[in-house]
Structure 1
Amino acid sequence: MSNLKELINRVNTVSSIVKMTSAMKLVSSRNLKKTQEKLLNLNFYKSNIEKIFKILLLNNNNFLLKKNKKNKNTILLIVLTSNRGLCGSFNNFLLKISNYLINNFLKKKNIYILFFGKKGKELFYKKYPIYVSNSNLIENINFNILSNIINDIYKNYKIGNFIKIIMIYNNSKNIYKKFISIKQILPVKINKHFFLKKKKDFRFEPSKKKILKFLFPEMLKLKIYNSILESKISEHSSRMMAMQKAKENGLKIKKELLYYFNKIRKENITKEILEIIGGI
């Protein structure tokens, strides 16, 4: 009887886990759709801002070359992870690639790290100086708070505290195809062929340079905000798949446990019947 009680307790535990993973999958699915809608709305605005920015750069391409090289060896690495686990290899693979990037390509550089999400900080906080760590922003994306952080980054870049700013995060083509994105945020790279193309010239007020000075940090904010949304989409889809896999495994284990439960129960009943017959 003790074996039967133990088995039924395990069946109940597995059933609870299956219910929990099913609920988490539904929550992730809802969050995924919301984030995809945000990204879709942002992309239209972002693409138009980038078009205006490129038009402004015509005959003003030196704007991007003005850099203070005070600290030639200092790089800021922005790492986007999640606060929570239960999302497969979402964090582990990203952190392995980040570590590989630092050890092989940025080995001779002074690295400062900006973390969005707790999981990245847990691995790197003892190894490298942390520029900023914000775990709340990755869960509840607040554009105003993000703007303040990016304004501070851009200010430090302009005065030469950083020679380069690189961002690394999880991205995805769809729910099943995921990859790691490594983007150079600053200095901005523009295709040289763009400046050779003849474009219609527009009149800008007050002037191209003044508009560029205002628009450039705004474009950076949109770029980083866009990457955070892409990372969140990848996180939600990874968690959906992890929970689906956990649910399938749970149902499989439950089926096996019920099989053993019924087998032992049948054996016990047969044994009791034989004892009764023998007693007669």
Structure 2
Amino acid sequence: MASLKEVRSRIASVNSTQQITKAMKMVAAAKLRRAQDAIIQMRPYAQKLGEMLGTVSAGAELAGESPYKRVRAVERVLLIVVTSDRGLCGAFNTNVVKAALTVISERYADQARRGNVEILAIGKKGAEAFARRGFKVNTTYIDTFASLSFGRVRAAAEDAMQRFASGQYDVVEIVYNEFKNVATQIIRVEQMLPIVSTSPNSTRTKASNVNYIFEPSEEEIITELIPKTLKIQLYKAVLESNASEHGARMTAMDKATENAGELLKELRLVYNRTRQAAITKEILEIVGGAEALAG
């Protein structure tokens, strides 16, 4: 049985850890509110922008000439993996890494064997995980979350777009956590390039039934709209991941605080039992000594 001093030391240690987890939960809750507001405001804009692009490009020949819609034989792949910079957020980062590895093994196994799969890491945890596994990792935008802004994410999107247009990559996909609520994050894998039109038949039917007046010209609208939609797509993914991270960390710290509380109960019970045993032993020794003297 552990001594009273050891048990007191463990109680003090667990109590200190519990205070830290409580503080981290409060910090995560404060950050989550801001991150949640940002993604809730972004979702309708991103959705409408995508719908607008699909509607306009369905009946526009110029959209088909865009370098971002060129479908080529897949030889070189870029995966944009969005994770966090820090841990202590449960399985948040592990799930993203597992999803990305699944995509590679199921879709791009041959390219991976030839070393033609590159990871663009947004977040340090993802960069570290794939570097350990021997993948080529682009860490240019690893510190995006240190000062999260549209400008920083736009630079990453423009880099991927430029390399795709020049033929350096044949496909670009994004792997990230979508925020549902504090306790739930959904893994999403989205193809960024080449652009894939959603429900093309219905979109083309709608476009054929409507006569559009383009102002400015159709060419200018298509040329401006496609790159902007791609940048917003990546920015939305990063905002989703940011909110998901804080939600996952809040949940993890709440669970850690509860576990610390349960452990404290057990340690205090052990402490009381140990203390009672020590007192009983001392009493027995005193009684034994007194009887010996009397005899």
| TM-score normalised per structure 2 | 0.87
Aligned partner of residue 238 in structure 2, secondary structure = helix
1:183-198 matches, within 5 Å, as: 183-190=190-197, 191-193=199-201, 194-197=203-206, 198=208
C-alpha distance in 2 between matches for 1:159 and 1:256: 63
The match for 1:60 is: 60
How far did 1:250 drift?
Answer: 0.9
Equivalent residue in structure 1 for 2:150, among 140, 143, 148: 143
C-alpha distance in 2 between matches for 1:70 and 1:192: 20
How far did 1:271 drift?
Answer: 2.5
**Residue 134 (1) aligns with residue 141 (2):** yes
How far did 1:79 drift?
Answer: 0.4
Question: Aligned partner of 1:36: which letter?
Answer: Q
C-alpha distance in 1 between matches for 2:154 and 2:169: 18
The match for 1:91 is: 93
The match for 1:102 is: 104
C-alpha distance after superposition, 1:116-164 (max 9, x if no partner): 0111111222622223442321343121122122122212212222211
The match for 1:3 is: 3
- Which shifted more, 29-38 or 134-143? 134-143
C-alpha distance in 1 between matches for 2:189 and 2:64: 20
Aligned partner of residue 229 in structure 1, secondary structure = helix
The match for 1:47 is: 47
Are the equivalent residues in 2 in contact too, given 1:90–1:238 (CA < 8 A)? yes
1:1-280 matches, within 5 Å, as: 3-61=3-61, 63-64=63-64, 66-67=66-67, 72-109=74-111, 110-125=116-131, 127-190=134-197, 191-193=199-201, 194-197=203-206, 198-280=208-290
C-alpha distance in 1 between matches for 2:173 and 2:62: 21
- Which shifted more, 95-104 or 222-231? 95-104
- What stretches of structure 2 of length at least 5 have no aligned partner? 291-295
Are the equivalent residues in 2 in contact too, given 1:114–1:132 (CA < 8 A)? yes
C-alpha distance after superposition, 1:77-116 (max 9, x if no partner): 1001111111111112221221222123101222121000
- Which shifted more, 202-211 or 6-15? 202-211
Are the equivalent residues in 2 in contact too, given 1:64–1:187 (CA < 8 A)? no
Are the equivalent residues in 2 in contact too, given 1:31–1:236 (CA < 8 A)? yes
Question: Aligned partner of 1:265: which letter?
Answer: R
How far did 1:62 drift?
Answer: 5.1
C-alpha distance in 2 between matches for 1:72 and 1:265: 70
C-alpha distance after superposition, 1:242-277 (max 9, x if no partner): 112211111111111111111111122223233334
- What stretches of structure 1 of length at least 5 have no aligned partner? none
- Percent identical pairs in the alignment equals 32
Aligned partner of residue 125 in structure 1, secondary structure = helix
- Which shifted more, 62-71 or 105-114? 62-71
Aligned partner of residue 215 in structure 2, secondary structure = coil
Question: Aligned partner of 1:128: which letter?
Answer: F
C-alpha distance in 2 between matches for 1:61 and 1:233: 38
- 1:3–1:216 CA distance, 2 compared to 1 (3 A): same
C-alpha distance in 1 between matches for 2:44 and 2:184: 23
Are the equivalent residues in 2 in contact too, given 1:121–1:133 (CA < 8 A)? no
- 1:104–1:72 CA distance, 2 compared to 1 (3 A): closer
Aligned residues: 280
C-alpha distance in 1 between matches for 2:86 and 2:252: 13
Give me the CA root mean square deviation. 2.2
Are the equivalent residues in 2 in contact too, given 1:157–1:163 (CA < 8 A)? yes
C-alpha distance in 2 between matches for 1:187 and 1:195: 19
